[in-house]
Amino acid sequence: MILIVAEHADDRLKPISRELAVLGRELADDLGRTLTVAILARDPASLVEECRALGPDRIVTVAGDRLEPYDPDVWTAAVEALVSEDEPAFVLAGHTSTGYDFLPRVAARTGRPLVPACIEWQRHGERVVFTRPVFNAKMHMRVTPKGEGPCFVTAAPGAFPPREPDEAGSGPPQDGGEPRLDAFDVDLSGLPVRSKRIGRESAAAGALDLGSADIIVAGGRGIREKEHFGLIDDLAEALGGAVGASRPVVDSGWRPRDYQIGSSGQTVSPRLYVAVGISGAVQHLVGMQSSRCIVAINKDADAPIFKVAHYGIVDDLFSVVPEITRTVRALKGQSPPVGSAGSGRESD
């Protein structure tokens, strides 16, 4: 059996749950196993309908007041109990702030292998080989879990995209009929409370909504200094687009938090995304890889951003970006605005 631990919020499945179903179904079919989706919630019944659409062979519900709000100790205990009861071959969760928070605890408690941030898998004879990005995605590492017994996997968000609803073969299995529905009883009420959520807020309470932008020019750590970020502003202005940033730009205070694109920032899919001096870490790609056209400008030809780009220029951004801005302006008959950073840089 393959066991998926579904993620949900506000009585809805999170998108990662659909991605886990893709990976889970692939593994189940290839290994000739069944697919079970586990719902851990205060009131799992409200999520059963949505879980049916994931096409599992079985849905198992675990109900308990302590399961929400999420507490890693409680989720660890529940999943560990499920695993020792059902003995699944693989247990899948998202490489998300929930999945990578509790699944490592279950793996360590049972002394069984964990593959974090899995992006791909293959069969090698009897064994399954998983691929995970290492060295900030500059390299890929293939690993084989050792020994017998359950193996734990967190799937990188975006790595197993669900098929569009209109494509053939998606949706619940037509022939397999209804998935079996089981309730799993485990007493979680006696667990000590070691961590307690006392608040929740949005860090990027600013007004910048990049989700609806048609064109985004995003700058990364390759810009090196706050003063140089005007290069990005200029190109964005010439293209009539918005400005975005990778996390280090925001962490360094060059731009406010609401400019950040990626897993802990905004998710965007503009018509055109220009990534300047951004390496293409998994957490950044998650936020922009569905953009229609991606341009990457980076001096490192091996930078992982080129894996998702449509057009790439391998060169120093400080020479290339002003040229692009100039070309676009010439094309559109614009003249550079007075005091733009492009002219500012000539003086340093």
Interacting residues with ligand FAD between 230 and 249 (CB under 6 A): 246-248
Residue 314: which of another protein, ligand FAD, none does it interact with, CB under 5 to 8 A by kind?
Answer: another protein
Whether the ω angle into residue 256 lies within 30 degrees of 0, i.e. cis, is no
- When asked if residue 317 is in the footprint of ligand FAD (CB under 6 A), the reply is yes
Which of residues 136 and 343 has its CB atom nearest to ligand FAD in the complex? 136
Which of residues 61 and 263 has its CB atom nearest to another protein in the complex? 263
Q: Are 277 and 317 in contact (CB under 8 A)?
A: yes
- 3-class SS at 177? coil
Which of residues 34 and 252 has its CB atom nearest to ligand FAD in the complex? 252
- When asked if residue 299 is in the footprint of ligand FAD (CB under 6 A), the reply is yes
User: Could you tell me how many residues of this chain bind another protein (CB under 8 A)?
Assistant: 92
- Pick the piece of the chain touching ligand FAD (CB under 6 A) from 57-65, 179-187, 198-206, 314-322: 314-322
Residue 303: which of another protein, ligand FAD, none does it interact with, CB under 5 to 8 A by kind?
Answer: ligand FAD
Query: What are the DSSP calls for 289-308, one per residue?
Result: TT-SEEEEEES-TT-GGGGT
Write the DSSP symbol of residue 45.
Answer: H
Adjacent-strand bridge partners of 62:
40, 184
Which of residues 45 and 84 has its CB atom nearest to another protein in the complex? 84
Reference 229, options 208, 240, 243; nearest CA is 243
CB of 175 to ligand FAD, least distance (A): 41
3-state DSSP of 3-19: EEECCEECCEECHHHHH
- When asked if residue 304 is in the footprint of another protein (CB under 8 A), the reply is yes
In the chain, the largest separation of any two C-alpha atoms, in whole Å, equals 71
Length of the chain: 348
Please give the residues from 3 up to 32 whose contact with ligand FAD meets the rule CB under 6 A.
none
- 3-class SS at 223? helix
Which of residues 113 and 337 has its CB atom nearest to another protein in the complex? 113
- When asked if residue 154 is in the footprint of ligand FAD (CB under 6 A), the reply is no
- When asked if residue 158 is in the footprint of ligand FAD (CB under 6 A), the reply is no
Residue 99 CA to residue 105 CA, distance in Å, equals 10
CA distances (Å), origin 82, targets 64, 324, 346: 14, 56, 64
The amino acid at 27: L
Residue span 14-53 as binding mask against another protein, x where in contact by CB under 8 A, dash where not: ----------------------------------------
Write the DSSP symbol of residue 242.
Answer: E
Phi, psi of 255 (to 5 degrees): -140, 155
Adjacent-strand bridge partners of 245:
219, 260
- Chain centre distance of CA 299: 26
Which of residues 151 and 276 has its CB atom nearest to ligand FAD in the complex? 276
Residue span 237-276 as binding mask against another protein, x where in contact by CB under 8 A, dash where not: --x-------xx-xxx----xx-x--xxxxx---xx----
Residue 184: which of another protein, ligand FAD, none does it interact with, CB under 5 to 8 A by kind?
Answer: none
Element housing 283 (H / E): helix 282-285
Residue 278: which of ligand FAD, another protein, none does it interact with, CB under 5 to 8 A by kind?
Answer: ligand FAD
| Interface with another protein (CB under 8 A), residue from 134, 161, 180, 182 | 134
Q: Which residues bind ligand FAD (CB under 6 A)?
A: 136, 220-222, 246-248, 260-265, 277-279, 281, 283-284, 287, 298-300, 303, 316-318
